[in-house]
Structure 1
C-alpha cells in the first residue's frame, strides 16, 4: 500500500468532511458537524488562516486519513482514518506530523479529547504513544489527555 502525506489545503475540506462520516468510531455526518459549528466554510477558513493546520494521507488519489490541530491552543482537534486503513501505522504518522508541527511552533504541552472507554480504539492508541490522562473531561464528555513533546 502506497500512502503519501502532505500539508492539508482548503481544497481538501469537502473530502475531509465526507471521510469523517465513514470512520469506524466517532463518525460525524455533515449535519452533525454543522450542529457543532464545523462547516465547509469554517474548516476552509481555519486551514487558510493557519488556525487549523493539518496533514492528509493520500492513497490511490484520494484522502484516506487526516489530522488537524488548533494552532493557538496546541490541541489535536481530530485524527480520522478510513476503516480499511486502520492498524497500518498511518494514523500514527499523521499524528506525528501534526505533533512535530506544534513542536516547531514552540508548544511544550499538547492536548486532545479522547474516549474514556477502554474498548474504544482511540483509548489505547493515544496511551500507547505516551499520552496521559489529565483527569479532566471536555464538554463532549471526552477525557482530556496531554503530551509533553520535549520530554
Structure 2
C-alpha cells in the first residue's frame, strides 16, 4: 500500500487519540491522556489554532501515524505509529515534516522527551536521526533530547 502524508486537520483528532492507545511502546489510553489534560477538544483546538501543528500519514484514507509539535516551545510533543507501520520510514518522514515546519517557524533548536532505556525503540530511533542528550530528564524520568537545526 501507498502511504500519503499531509498536514493534520482538526477532524483527525479522534483517529489520533485512538491510534495513541494502539502503539507498541508508550501507549496512552483516552483516560490517561485526559489525566494529562489532553482531550479531544484540547487537541482539536491546538490543531485549529496552530499551536499544535503536525502531520499525519494515511493509508487508504486511514491514519497510520502522526507527529505533532508545540509551536510555542519547539517541543516535539508526540510521534506515534501503528505497530504494523514501524520500520518502513513512516516515523522518520513524519518527524522530518514537523522539523521542517519548525525550521520555517524560526526555531534553531527543538527538543523532546524520550525513554532513557536503551532497549526502547525510541532510544535508538532519535539518536540515529541526530538527536542528542541534554543530560536532563523530565518529571516522568524520560530523557530530554535536542536537535539543532542548520
The equivalent residue for 1:75 is: 75
Cα distance per residue 1:27-54 (max 9 Å; x no partner): 0000000000000000001001110000
Equivalent-residue separation in structure 2 for 1:54 and 1:14 (angstroms): 15
Equivalent-residue separation in structure 2 for 1:39 and 1:105 (angstroms): 26
The equivalent residue for 2:134 is: 134
* C-alpha RMSD over aligned residues: 0.5
The equivalent residue for 1:11 is: 11
Equivalent-residue separation in structure 2 for 1:45 and 1:137 (angstroms): 28
Tell me the secondary structure at the aligned position of residue 146 of structure 1.
strand
Cα distance per residue 1:44-79 (max 9 Å; x no partner): 010011100000000011000000000010110000
* Count of residue pairs brought into register by the alignment: 150
Equivalent-residue separation in structure 1 for 2:134 and 2:46 (angstroms): 27
| 1:140 Cα offset (Å) | 1.8
Which portions of structure 1, spanning 4 or more consecutive aligned residues, are displaced by more than 3 angstroms? Answer: none
- TM, length-normalised to structure 1: 0.98
Equivalent-residue separation in structure 2 for 1:40 and 1:140 (angstroms): 23
Gaps of 5+ in 1: none
